[in-house]
Amino acid sequence: MPGPYDLSQDQLAGLLDGEPAYRVRQVWDGLYRRALPVTELTDLPRALRDRLAADPALQPALTAAAYSVADGAQTVKWGWRLGDGAVIETVLMHYPDRSTVCVSTQAGCAMACSFCATGQAGFSRQLTTGEIVEQVVAAIAEARPRRVANVVFMGMGEPMANYGPMWGAVERLHQDLGFSARHITVSTVGLVPGIRRLAKESLPVNLAVSLHAANDGLRNELVPINRRWPLAALIAACHEYRAMKGRRLSFEWALIDGVNDRPSDADELASLVRPLGAHVNLIPLNPTPGYRVRGTPHAAVRAFRDLLVAEGVNATVRRNRGTDIDAACGQLAGSVILQPLSRPRVPN
């Protein structure tokens, strides 16, 4: 359902009809630069604050139904209930030099990747631009006095399958929340039209491709969308993106024991990504209820990385964060909504 972050400045001005123009700027600045609810905009007169707080268009789109922490409070996960009852999740990760928020673009996902909890849950609906932006605003408020420096579109859903609202959120993050385009990453499992469309956009955001297999037979099993856009089409689109944007791509590879962690898999992967000069993020598969195959053991993960490096590929192992609260890659499914609300947080 639409919320305050779905409003344009003109629409906000309409809500403030009769107020001087500088009031619109104050409210806009409060919502975005200061990430505050209208009830806390103390530079507004009390009567105006009360009026805005009662306006349905300015009610938060997200209601916190669950809040979990892990990794010594360095990882935070919210379960949000939307106005129509749909559920999404957002993850905030603190690092020594930065904080990163991972946002959802859909409630559920239709891509049906076998090892991903969101894909196992199925698709519910698209998110609006405001529902995506509001997740970032919540993370900004939570992180203070730390600064959220990076936004990754890697939560629930396939960003390219909700392209318009997703890109609208990117523009709001850049223009109104002050994020550098180079600190925004859009992930995809391989929707080729979306990659080509992204290459034509004016903002040079980062592109991450969830690959997981480097031959069509295995990828068809792990990532069913590969049947529609097989590897040849996907890699061709990645070359086009690299040529048009001049940005290094990254490929995500969830290592599954005995499935895609063999030396032959490393050879195939290196052959695909080396001509692109791409970076490979290796992620030991995180456990999900619907996929019982285990992740590659840590020693074998390092060995796989070493094989890639020996073949001239820039590869690193991503540290798992939030596994014990189902906040790690591939674990977001809305199940947190069933847990007790331990610490209510709302982004309004």
The CATH number covering residue 108 comes to 3.20.20.70
Over the chain, what is the mean pLDDT?
88
Q: For the purposes of burial, counting CB atoms within 10 Å of the CB of 214, is it exposed (0-12), middle (13-18) or buried (19 or more)? A: buried
Structural domain contains residue 289: yes
Q: Are residues 10 and 112 in the same domain?
A: no
Give residue 291's pLDDT: 56
- Residues 63-91 have a mean pLDDT of 91
Structural domain contains residue 279: yes
Which is more confident, 283 or 327? 283
Q: Are residues 33 and 71 in the same domain?
A: no
Structural domain contains residue 197: yes
Handedness of CA 305, 309, 313, 315 (dihedral sign): positive
If one counts the domains in the chain, the total is 2
Q: What is the secondary structure of 95-119 as a DSSP string?
A: ETTEEEEE--SEEE-SS--TT-HHH
Q: What is the secondary structure of 8-25 as a DSSP string?
A: -HHHHHHHTTTS-HHHHH
Q: Are residues 41 and 157 in the same domain?
A: no
Does the structure show a pLDDT above 60 at 338? no
Structural domain contains residue 347: no
Q: What is the pLDDT of residues 86-133, one digit of tens each?
A: 999 999 999 988 899 999 999 999 998 877 877 777 888 999 999 999
Q: Are residues 171 and 275 in the same domain?
A: yes
Give how far the C-alpha of residue 168 lies from the chain's centroid of Cα atoms, to the nearest Å.
14
Return d(Cα 343, Cα 69) in angstroms, integer: 10
Tell me 287's DSSP state: P
Residue with the two structure tokens 């390219």: 160
Q: Are residues 161 and 126 in the same domain?
A: yes
Residue 28 structural domain: 4-57
Kind and range of the H or E run holding 136 = helix 129-143
Give residue 337's pLDDT: 40
Structural domain contains residue 272: yes
Q: What is the pLDDT of residues 257-309, one digit of tens each?
A: 999 999 999 999 999 999 999 999 999 886 655 555 778 999 999 999 999 99
Specify the long-range contacts of residues 310-315, CB closer than 8 Å, at least 24 apart.
311/266, 311/267, 311/270, 311/274, 312/270, 312/274, 313/269, 313/270, 313/273, 313/274, 313/278, 313/280, 314/277, 314/278, 314/279, 314/280, 315/279, 315/280, 315/281, 315/282
Structural domain contains residue 155: yes
The CATH number covering residue 22 comes to 1.10.150.530
Q: What percentage of the chain reaches a pLDDT higher than 90? A: 74
Kind and range of the H or E run holding 243 = helix 231-245
Task: Give the burial string for 50-72 (b: 16+ CB within 10 Å, else e).
Answer: ebbeeeeebbbbbbbbbbbbbbe
- Domain termination residue (choose one: 34, 57, 80): 57
Q: Which of 306, 331, 227, 247 is nearest to 219 (CA)?
A: 227
- Residues serving a catalytic function are 89, 329
Q: What is the pLDDT of residues 213-267, one digit of tens each?
A: 999 999 999 999 999 999 999 999 999 999 999 988 999 999 999 999 999 999 9
- Domain termination residue (choose one: 38, 57, 76): 57
Q: Are residues 282 and 187 in the same domain?
A: yes
